[in-house]
Chain A
Amino acid sequence: MDKVTRLASEKGVVIFTKSSCCLCYAVNILFHELGVRPVVHEIDHDPEGREMEKALLRLGCTAPVPAVFIGGKLMGSTNEIMSLHLSGSLTQMLKPYQALS
């Protein structure tokens, strides 16, 4: 089982990012605003980063980062997350993972 899939199913909300990527930072902020604490994996600081990037693209992610997984399923990159949020679907999907405030 490749690293990406393994890491993606470890927790409810997983985001693959790169430390220099500010859009990744923005997506993470959005999740925090929605009361979710995603697990963030910075692939540029991972020794297998290159393979992980290729794996993410192979899985169908429009941009390698940020790559958002909810419940082990790939939701997409920034574009997809924004669309899901505007339609109200994102909040629904995140309900089981929201931290009790």
Chain B
Amino acid sequence: MNSPTPQFVSSRRMSVYDPIHQISMWGEGFKSNGNLSASVPLIDEPDMKLDSQSEDASHGILGEPNKYDQEANKPTDKIQRRLAQNREAARKSRLRKKAYVQQLESSRLKLMQLEQELERARQQGMYIGGGLDSNHLGFAGSVNSGITTFETEYGHWVNEQNRQITELRSALNAHIGDMELRILVDGMMSHYAEIFRMKSAAAKADVFYVMSGMWKTTAERFFLWIGGFRPSELLKVLGPLIEPLTEQQRLDIYTLGQSCQQAEDALSQGMDKLRQLLADSVAAGQFMEGTYIPQMTSAMENLEALVSFVNQADHLRQGTLQQMSRILTIRQAARCLLALGEYFQRLRALSSLWSNRPREPA
């Protein structure tokens, strides 16, 4: 540690020989109110204001400056010790400043990285926080990785779905045998099983995202029922397309449709009950402070229950598909799956056409 050389800076407010002033000039960390405390300003430049303050406060410790006029050129033990303490305080101050600046630098880097990620995600139209507009940060303002994963995987799923539909169409047109057809049908059924698995994981990440069908196109969302399509509706649409059917098959499909309808009604009423319970939980204990929810626990439990409803609805969808494949012959099942796939392709196309339609100038 090199000892600072005395610098006799002239100041109109201080005696040149005032060692206190000199110390303040050398060591930025010195607070001359007596306690060489650790809390010092984080700037290196000598703080003239601080010095004048020090001078005003200093007379309580060292008395009048005049006292030291004669002694200024001979540093006493006391002053030596004070110099050393001052150097130490200054060193610590510099170290702290260095650490603080390093922290600022790394935070700045992190911020830049996050901003880049955000921009990239926005451009890809990914899910960020809540809200229908994918560019809106939403209340949470954070990226939900479970949902981001789902959206990415869903993109792949749709591509594979389109490929399978094309393959199935060609296969049926080419009149391939039942064995090969079965492979394609099984493949498509597994593919549907995949989307239900993905939705289950997504529901755990954000049940409201799944409930609102956020990944679907606008026209698809119009038909939304508890986070997906309504099985009974689909049966009504597909039924006529898989003719000819045997009488038994027609009856079986009709019965399946009835069962679907009943199960859907039961789930819908369960959902209504859930909404009612949630409303009651939120409203309970009124005439209290603003957003405070006395029955927070019940309200949260109600929201948790949504996950089970979404899972049940998906279970119903998958169950309907499986029942259909049991009722139908392999060729009928193939035509059914083709019709189903094409139906959703058309809904997606319709959404696209709708959003791109020429609009009247306002």
A and B found bound together: yes
Binding site for B on A (CB under 8 A): 20-23, 25-27, 29-30, 33-34, 78-79, 82-83, 85-88, 91
* Chain B, range 306-340, C-beta contacts under 8 Å to A: 308-309, 312, 315-316, 319-320, 323
B301 neighbours in A (Cβ, 8 Å): 20
B273 within 8 A of A: yes
> Which single member of B263, B270, B273, B277 contacts A85 (CB below 8 Å)?
B263
Chain B residue nearest in CB terms to A24: B270
How many B residues are at the interface, by size bracket? 20 to 34
Chain B interface helix/strand/loop/mixed: helix
Give 3 closest A-B pairs by Cβ, nearest first: A26-B270, A30-B266, A22-B274
CB pair A22–B273 under 8 Å, yes or no, is yes
Contact of B267 among A21, A26, A34 (CB under 8 A): A26
A82–B256 Cα distance when bound, in Å, is 12
Contact B305 A23 (CB under 8 A): yes
What per-residue 1/0 map shows which CB atoms of B283-319 lie under 8 Å from chain A? 0000000000000001001000100110010011001
Q: Are A22 and B305 in contact (CB under 8 A)?
A: yes
Residue pairs across A and B with Cβ atoms less than 8 A apart, 15 shown, are: A20-B277, A21-B305, A22-B270, A22-B273, A25-B273, A26-B273, A29-B266, A34-B262, A79-B315, A85-B263, A86-B263, A86-B316, A86-B320, A86-B323, A91-B259
A25 contact from B255, B263, B270, B323, Cβ within 8 A: B270
**Residues of B contacting A34 in the complex (Cβ-Cβ under 8 angstroms):** 262
Flag if A33 contacts B265 (CB, 8 Å). Answer: yes
Between A78, A79, A86, the greatest number of chain B beta carbons within 10 A of the residue's beta carbon is seen for A86
Inter-chain contacts of A23 with B (CB < 8 A)? 270, 305, 308-309, 312
Question: Known: A78-B312, A86-B316. Is A26-B266 also a contact (CB below 8 A)?
Answer: yes
Contact for B312 among A20, A33, A79, CB less than 8 A: A79
B262 and chain A: residue at smallest CB distance: A33
Please, which residue of chain A has its CB at the minimum distance from the CB of B271? A22
A80 to B298, CA, bound (A): 27
Give the chain A neighbours of B265 by CB distance below 8 A. Answer: 29-30, 33
Assess the B270–A86 pair: CB atoms within 8 A.
no
Given contacts A20-B277, A23-B309, contact A86 B269 (CB under 8 A): no
Cross-chain contact B298 with A82 (CB below 8 angstroms): no
CB B80 to nearest CB in A, in angstroms, measures 76
Which A residues touch B316, using CB under 8 A?
A: 82, 86
CB closest residue in chain A, given B278: A22
Q: Are A86 and B308 neighbours in the complex by a CB distance under 8 Å?
A: no
Contact between A30 and B298, CB atoms less than 8 A apart: no
Q: How far is the CB of B195 from chain A (nearest CB, A)?
A: 18
Which residues of the partner chain A approach B270 to less than 8 Å between Cβ atoms?
Answer: 22-23, 25-26, 29
Contacts of A79 in B (CB 8 A): 312, 315
**Does B165 make an interface contact (CB < 8 A)?**
no
A59 to B323, CA, bound (A): 28
Residue contact A30 to B262, C-beta cutoff 8 Å: yes
B185 close to chain A: CB less than 8 A: no
Say whether, besides A79-B315, A82-B312, A87 and B323 are in contact (CB < 8 Å): yes
Given A20-B301, A23-B309, A83-B315, list of 4 further CB < 8 A pairs? A22-B271, A23-B308, A82-B316, A86-B260
